[in-house]
Amino acid sequence: MSLAEAWRISSNLELACRDWDEDEVVVFSQRLGHSLLLSAASARVLDLLATAAPQTLTQAELVERLLPLCAEGTPTGDIQSLLDVTLPEFYRIGLAEPWINSN
Amino acid sequence: MIVADLSPGDLQARLRTGLYLRTGPFVSCITSSEPLLAEGIALHYAEHAVETEFADFHVRIARPRNLRRWYRPQVRFYFDDAPSFHPLPADQAFPMLEWGLNWCVTNQAHRYLIIHAAVLQRQGKSLILPAPPGSGKSTLCAGLAHSGWRLLSDELALIDPDTGRVVPVPRPVSLKNRSIEILKAFAPQAVFNPTVSDTIKGDVAHMRAPPDALLRAEESAAPGWIVMPHFEAGAAPQLVEITRARGMMALIENAFNFDLHGRRGFDTLGDFVDQCRCYRYSYGSLADAIDGCNRLADAA
């Protein structure tokens, strides 16, 4: 996925989340009808996409917004690597979808 | 009236027309002419109330109307007069009733969130043991039930979304194969029916629920611990605390009807896990396993 590509959360997911300040979070979607165990970092990505909806976010915008939430000195490359894994996985399970501007 | 108030003849007469048997929050109307079933009910359900009307489940254990009525006779489980499982040899009538009643609860009692888990209670808190078959759940459950823990269920954790508490369904504990002898050695006072061999689960025997479980059958339990047990012969005991998120996922993955409850079910389980500590527990002997659970309760 290129940095120019934008992502948005899938519509009408009706998400709920349980977070106990741990490394892992449980997310539930009423529409998908199932629950997922996400790493806290992946859950932050999902939260950013949900907060931005209906707007899309590019990978660069996601990196920019995730950076202040990470430990000081976290290399942007680590965040990009996280996104390279997380976003396609979100797409596979129906949580998010890529959006390409055809204009 | 309780089952023990009925003479063997009275019990068989009731079973012919329908015995209204209370088990926890449910009443089952059981009809059967099978002598082994009557013996099993007399042994395992002696202290259970006999009701006079209104049943949640209407079940019947009867011989199918075919040649097998005379040659290697079989029995069949009927729910609302519809045959619900493959026939089994007639000497498996009581295990069939137990498996059938579990099926009734998991398929009908949707006012509860139903988790495939054993549940016990100590220090006012429930210990939930969610696990797939073969993990040693029932063996550990039976051992704990004879080690100062109150048995709520060996198979079905019923969480009431209105209260967030676990509702007891104290019934016989189903033990299989080597577990039967292990439990008989561990708790000589435990009451078992004769072992039934060659069932689909191997050798099966049921252990009667201890008296305390039946006396407190209407007393629900607060959340406490979620422990995922794993028996591995000879392994050193290893109790590892895991995240609440993993504990919640264990409940969801072992739930029979989570999808039916939707968002409310998610919130109910989330609130439940809020009040729990969660562990994965590998052990190589029943004594080790019980010791680890006791340490959890003692530290509470």
pLDDT in tens, A25-75: 999 998 888 899 999 999 999 999 999 999 999 999 999 999 888 888 888
**How far apart, in whole angstroms, are the C-alpha atoms of residue B217 and residue B212?**
8
Cβ within 8 Å, pair A34-B259: yes
Helices (H), chain B: 8-17, 35-44, 93-108, 137-145, 178-186, 211-215, 244-253, 258-274, 286-299
- Separation between Cα atoms, residue B80 and residue A6, nearest integer Å: 56
Task: Count the domains in chain A.
Answer: 1
- Asked if residue A31 belongs to a domain, the reply is no
What distance in Å separates residue A8's CA from the closest CA in chain B? 23
Cα–Cα distance, B97 to B174 (Å, whole number): 12
Domain assignment present for A1: no
Predicted pLDDT at B70: 66
Chain B residues within 8 Å of chain A (Cβ atoms) = 243-246, 248-249, 252, 258-259, 262-263, 266-267, 270, 273-274
Instruction: Tell me, yes or no, whether A26 lies in a domain.
Output: no
Q: Say what the ipTM of the complex is.
A: 0.88
How do residues B125-183 score in pLDDT, each as one tens digit? 999 999 888 888 999 999 999 999 999 999 999 999 999 999 999 999 999 999 999 99
* SS3 state of residue B124: coil
- The pLDDT assigned to A103 comes to 58
- Quickly count: other Cβ atoms within 10 Å of residue B2's Cβ: 14
In sequence order, the β-bridge partners of residue B118 are B129
Cα separation, A26 vs B171, whole angstroms: 33
